[in-house]
Amino acid sequence: MKKWFLTAAMAVLSMNAAMAQEVADAETVKDLMQYCVDVAAEDGTGDLSKQEFVLNCVNEELESEGYAKISALPKKV
């Protein structure tokens, strides 16, 4: 019973830590967007539209740096 409780507690704590990711500042998002636009120009976007590619790219970079994902690209950067 103690093992089950500890396992459940660890799972809840892990989920809370994942949800509490820091939100990136506007300058970081702007820099990552420019990087991703450059990658799209050099390597292409595959089957994705440019906007979809850039959003996916930005989110991958944000996650790799410990930030929360964004749901849409900012209109003004």
Record the pTM: 0.72
3: pLDDT strictly greater than 80: no
Domain that holds residue 39: 22-77
Give CA–CA dist 8/69, Å, rounded. 26
* Average pLDDT over the chain, rounded to an integer: 84
Q: Is residue 32 part of a domain?
A: yes
- Span 38-68, pLDDT tens digits: 999 999 999 999 999 999 999 999 999 999 9
What pLDDT, on a 0 to 100 scale, did the predictor assign at position 8? 53
Domain count, the chain: 1
What are the start-end ranges of the H helices in 44-73?
50-64
CB contact at 8 A, 15 and 61: no
pLDDT for the residue numbered 19: 57
pLDDT band at 21 (very low <50, low <70, confident <90, very high): confident
Calpha distance 2→57 (Å, rounded):
42
Asked if 39 and 28 count as a contact pair (C-beta separation under 8 A), the reply is no
